[in-house]
């Protein structure tokens, strides 16, 4: 006689995205979009106008929960909610000051090109409102939907901490990593430690899977990629697995290209997110057959819509037809994406067209 499944296993069995993250093939393919909660939605823009700055919204757990759920309210076919927050909450908790400058992006002070890491005073309580958001979203999440938490990977977070802002080539962080390997390694270690705690607490609060965003992984040489992307990610995955057995970790090393195979093999992530520059046919052929893949529609194809979108969606779906696959974009949805094109995308993926 078959054993009676636990309530937890029943809940997971009903969630297509979680099933795929555990290695099952599901049709229609589960889908969500990176940055699906944000500026392309008029309801988000209205809330931002009414409530104030981006950081104020992140730290207002009621508002952040509402924003997290907005895409699923507009598009009920989406299979997951992704937490509304920002990867720079971690350096904010480590002790840098965080502001967002209109039209220019985030600023972290003091930048670690000149400041000493030991001069920063950690404020880990700055993470607690994020856990409140997770709990509130989980309590309101519809049946069959998965809640995804996230953090930035140590390398990408370090690039902002060192420079104090985003940069095109991450040269400040790369220069420091070469010039003072020990100092840069300590920065990575601090980020890694807080990230494990941060993601672990998100899971405790109700996140059912987590994603590590390594948006600037593509700027590194193979040796530095091994040291600053693969090794810290592997340690984070191992630590989370020890604390939360069975909770999937999605890795997204944007720009990794030919280094994806090593990343998948050595980090032991549960699933691998692919950016839009990766040939899906190559990925389907060269990456482990049992590894769930996520992606990888070009966000600009979504902006274009119509025949361009239909062709691009079909190419991704066809490439991954014989393996566990979560449909997503190759990076975040763009601000000028027409709402109706998102509806077209979902209909194409779910087989309504």
Question: Tell me, what's the pLDDT at 103?
Answer: 74
Tens digits of per-residue pLDDT, 21-80? Answer: 999 999 999 999 999 999 999 999 999 988 888 999 999 999 999 999 999 999 999 999
Two tokens, residue 18? 């979680």
Instruction: Select which of 131, 160, 198, 263 is catalytic.
Output: 160
Can you tell me the distance from the alpha carbon of 206 to that of 217, in angstroms, rounded to the nearest whole number?
28
Q: Are 283 and 293 in contact (CB under 8 A)?
A: yes
Domains and CATH numbers, the chain: 32-296 (3.20.20.210)
Catalytic entry in 40, 60, 66, 86: 86
Helix axes 154-163, 231-243, angle to 10 degrees: 120
118 carries an active-site annotation: no
168 annotated active-site:
no
CA distances from 269 to 88, 240, 264, 298, 334 (A): 22, 11, 6, 23, 27
The catalytic position among 25, 26, 39, 138 is 39
Q: How far apart are CA 139 and CA 328, in angstroms?
A: 25
Query: Of 231, 289, 325, which is closest to residue 21 (Cα–Cα)?
Result: 325
The overall pTM is greater than 0.75: yes
Give me the pLDDT at residue 13, please.
55
* Helix/strand/coil (H/E/C) assignment for every residue in the chain: CCCCCCHHHHHHHCCHHHHHHCCCCCCCCCECCCCCCCCCCHHHHHHHHHHCCHHHHHHCHHHHHHHHHHHHHHCCCCCEEECCCCCCHHHHHHCCEEEEECCCEEEEECCCCCCCHHHCCCCHHHHHHHHHHHHHHHHHCCCCCEEEEEEECHHHHHHHHHHCCCCCCCHHHHHHHHHCHHHHHHHHHHHHHHHHHHHHHHHHHCCCEEEEEECCHHHCCHHHHHHHHHHHHHHHHHHHHHHCCCCCEEEEECCCHHHHHHHHHHHCCCEEECCCCCCHHHHHHHCCCCCCEEEEECHHHHHHCHHHHHHHHHHHHHHCCCCCEEEEECCCCCCCCCHHHHHHHHHHHHCCC
Please check whether residue 261 is in contact with residue 230, taking contact to mean a CB–CB distance below 8 angstroms: no
45 is catalytic: no
Q: How far apart are CA 150 and CA 348, in angstroms?
A: 27
**Looking at 12, 40, 44, 48, which residue is catalytic?**
48
* Active site (annotated) includes residue 59: no
In the chain, which residues have pLDDT < 50? 1-5, 8-12, 353
- Give the pLDDT confidence score for residue 137 in this predicted structure: 98
Predicted local distance difference test score (pLDDT) of residue 242: 98
Taking the C-alpha atoms of residue 252 and residue 271, their distance in angstroms, rounded to an integer, is 9
- Specify whether 39 is catalytic: yes
């Amino acid at each position: 006689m078959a054993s009676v499944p636990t309530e937890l296993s029943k809940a997971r069995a009903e969630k297509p995205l979680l099933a795929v993250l555990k290695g099952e093939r599901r049709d229609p393919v589960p889908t969500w979009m990176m940055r699906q909660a944000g500026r392309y939605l008029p309801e988000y823009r209205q809330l931002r106008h009414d409530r104030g700055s981006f950081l104020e919204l992140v730290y207002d757990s009621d508002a952040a929960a509402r924003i997290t759920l907005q895409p699923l309210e507009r598009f009920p076919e989406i299979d997951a909610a992704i937490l509304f927050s920002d990867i720079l909450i971690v350096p904010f908790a480590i002790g840098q000051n965080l502001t967002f400058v209109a039209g220019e992006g985030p600023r972290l002070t003091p930048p670690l090109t000149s400041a000493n890491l030991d001069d920063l005073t950690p404020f880990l309580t700055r993470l607690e409102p994020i856990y409140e958001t997770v709990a509130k979203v989980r309590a309101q999440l519809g049946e069959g939907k998965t809640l995804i938490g996230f953090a930035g990977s140590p390398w990408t977070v370090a690039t902002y901490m060192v420079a104090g802002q985003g940069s095109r080539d991450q040269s400040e962080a790369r220069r420091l990593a070469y010039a003072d390997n020990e100092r840069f390694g300590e920065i990575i270690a601090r980020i890694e430690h807080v990230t494990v705690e941060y993601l672990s607490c998100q899971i405790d609060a109700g996140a059912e899977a987590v994603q590590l965003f390594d948006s600037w992984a593509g700027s590194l040489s193979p040796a530095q990629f091994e040291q600053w992307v693969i090794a810290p990610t592997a340690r984070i995955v191992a630590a989370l697995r020890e604390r939360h057995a069975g909770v999937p970790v999605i890795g997204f090393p944007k720009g990794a290209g030919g280094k994806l195979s090593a990343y998948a093999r050595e980090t032991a992530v549960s699933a691998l997110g692919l950016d839009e520059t990766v040939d899906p046919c190559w990925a389907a052929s060269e990456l482990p057959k049992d590894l769930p893949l996520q992606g990888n529609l070009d966000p600009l194809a979504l902006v274009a819509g119509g025949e361009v979108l239909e062709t691009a969606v079909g190419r991704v779906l066809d490439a991954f037809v014989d393996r566990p696959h979560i449909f997503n974009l190759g990076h975040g949805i763009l601000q000028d994406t027409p709402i109706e094109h998102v509806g077209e995308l979902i209909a194409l993926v779910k087989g309504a067209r």
